[in-house]
Amino acid sequence: MSYNPKIYASVKDAMEQKRRKAVADADRRTAEVGKLYPEIGQVDAILAQTGLRIMEAIRMGQKGLSERMAALEEENALLLEKRREYLASHGLPADYTDPQYACRDCEDTGYRKGKMCTCLRQALFLEGVARSGLGRLPETQSFDNFLCSYYTDPESVGTVLQFCRRFAESFDENTVENILITGATGLGKTHLSTAIGQEVIRRGFDCVYTSAQNLLSDFEYERFGRGYRDDSPDRTERYFACDLLIIDDFGTEMGNQFTVASLYNLINSRMNAGKPIIINTNLSSSELRTRYDDRIASRLFGEFIFFRLQGKDIRQQKRMK
C-alpha cells in the first residue's frame, strides 16, 4: 500500500489530538474527583508512587525481588478495587477517570499489536475519498448496487462489472491497465468509476476523480492564470502523481490546441510512468477519433481496455418504476 503522505499525516495528527484530549479530560476528571472525595485522592496519591516503589524494590537487590514485586502488584490491585468501590459509592462508573478513547482497541494510536487498526484504515479511507474529488458519490454508488438487469445485454455488462471489480480489488503498484468506458448519459459509467475509485482508496492508494472540464480549467490556470507568482498553488501536480486518475465527461471540454496538448501530455506522461487512467465519455469511437488528433486517439484505442455500455437511461427507468 502507498497511502498519500499528506493524507496519512493529516489523519494521524487528528488521531493524536483526539488521544491527547482524551488523556487531558481523564486527568481533569481525576483531579476533580480527588478534590471532591478525599478518600479517592489518597488512593491516587499512593498509586502515583508505584514507579518509585518499583525502583526502590529493584535497588534492594535480586534476592527476594520477585516476592517484593508480587506484593506491590497485589497491593495495587487492592487499591484499585477500593478506588472502584469509592467511585461507585458516589454514583460514578468504575472507568469515570479513565481516558475515553474513540477506539478502545488501539486507544487512538492507530495501531494494535503492531498492525494498523481498523479505525485508522477507515479514517484514511474517508479522508482519501474527501480529497479524491468523489464527493458523496460513494454513498450511493458501489459494486454491490450496480444492477446489470437495467441493460440491453445484462450478461455482457456483467462481464464488464466483474472486470472492474477485479481491477479494483487487485490494484497495486504494478497495475498499469487503463480503462475507457463509453456510452450514453445515464448508463452507469460514473457509477462503475466511483466503485473502482473507492475500492482503490480503501486499499491504501491515492485516487483523483475529476471532470474533463475541471481538469482543463486547472491546466489553463497553471498556464494563463497564476502568472509569475512562485507561491501560487500547483493545481495539476496531483493529476500526474496520483496512483489512479479518473476523468469523467471526457469530450465535454472545450477543444483547442492548448487543451489537446495538455490532455496528450497528461495521458502520455502517466502511461510512461505506468500510472493507470480511467476515462468515461459519452462519445462513440468514431466521435473520439474525429474530436482528438491521432496522438490521443492512438493511445485511447491502443493502450486502453475499451468497454461500451448500451441501453436506456437507468435513472429514467428507475423513475418509471
The residue ranges of DSSP E strands in the chain, in sequence order, are 111-112, 115-116, 178-183, 207-211, 244-250, 277-281, 304-309
10: part of which helix (H) or strand (E)? Answer: helix 5-36
Strand 207-211 and strand 111-112: the pairing is unpaired
Q: What are phi and psi of 204, to 5 degrees?
A: 100, 15
As a whole number of angstroms, the distance between CA 189 and CA 182 comes to: 7
DSSP structure class, residue 222? I
DSSP structure class, residue 228? T
Which amino acid type is present at position 145?
Answer: N
Cell of 305: 481496455
Name the nearest CA neighbour of 235 among 258, 264, 266, 279. Answer: 266
The count of other CB atoms within 10 Å of the CB of residue 39 is 14
- Average pLDDT along the chain, 321 residues, taken 10 residues at a time: 86 96 96 94 93 91 91 94 94 95 96 94 95 94 92 92 97 95 93 97 96 93 64 78 96 88 96 97 93 93 94 81 69
pLDDT value of residue 317: 80
- Interval 134-167: pLDDT, tens: 999 999 999 999 989 888 889 999 999 999 999 9
Longest dimension (CA), the chain: 90
pLDDT value of residue 233: 56
Cell of 27: 486527568
DSSP notation for 81-111 = HHHHHHHHHTT--TTTTS---S-TTTTTSSE
Q: What percent of the chain has pLDDT over 90?
A: 83
- Is residue 201 within 8 A of residue 171, CB to CB? The reply is no
pLDDT value of residue 255: 80
pLDDT value of residue 1: 58
